[in-house]
Amino acid sequence: MVLHSHMLNTQESVMPMPFQDKTGLRFGRLVVKELISKKPVAKWTCVCDCGNKTQVWGGHLRSGVTRSCGCLLTDSNKEKKTTHGLTKTRTYKSWRSMKMRCTLPSMPSYKNYAGKGIGFDESWNDFNKFYEDMGERPEGMSLDRIDNSKSYNKENCRWADAKTQANNRIQRKSKV
Q: Is residue 133 situated within a structural domain?
A: yes
Same domain for 160 and 100? yes
Q: What is the pLDDT of residue 105?
A: 87
Residue 8 banded pLDDT, cuts 50, 70, 90: very low
Decide if 81 is inside a domain.
no
Q: Is 84 inside any structural domain?
A: no
The CA–CA distances, whole Å, from 136 to 95, 105, 108 equal 11, 28, 27
Say whether pLDDT at 2 is over 80: no
Sheet holding 43-48, edge to edge: 26-27, 30-37, 43-48, 53-57
Same-domain pairing of 98 and 44 = no
- Pick the more confident residue, 105 or 137: 137
Residues 100 and 61 in one domain: no
Average confidence (pLDDT) over 147-170: 92
Does residue 144 lie within any of the structural domains?
yes
DSSP assigned state of 161 = -
Kindly state whether residues 110 and 50 are assigned to the same domain: no
| pLDDT above 70: residue 12 | no
pLDDT by residue (tens digit) across 32-46?
Answer: 999 999 888 899 999
Higher pLDDT, 150 or 87: 150
- Whole-angstrom Cα distance, residue 46 to residue 29? 9
- pLDDT at res. 97: 95
Higher pLDDT, 176 or 111: 111
Q: What is the pLDDT of residues 65-124, one digit of tens each?
A: 898 998 888 777 666 655 677 888 999 999 999 999 999 888 898 998 988 999 999 999
Mean pLDDT of 21-36: 93
**Boundary-marking domain end, from 71, 102, 127:** 71
- Give percent above pLDDT 70 in the chain: 82
CA dist 142 and 169 (Å) reads 14
Q: Residue 4: what pLDDT?
A: 43
Same domain, yes or no, for 58 and 120? Answer: no
Judged on CB neighbours under 10 Å (0-12, 13-18, 19+), 65 is exposed
Residues 43, 101 within the same domain: no
User: Domains in the chain: how many in total?
Assistant: 2
Q: How confident is the model at residue 20 (pLDDT cuts 50, 70, 90)?
A: confident
Say yes or no to pLDDT of 168 above 70: yes
User: Looking at 71, 104, 125, which one is the last position of a domain?
Assistant: 71
% of the chain residues with pLDDT over 90? 56
Residue 82 lies in a domain: no
- 77 in any annotated domain: no
Parent domain of 20:
5-71
Q: Is the pLDDT of residue 1 over 60?
A: no
9 belongs to a structural domain? yes
In a domain, 83, yes or no: no
Shared-domain flag, residues 58 and 95: no
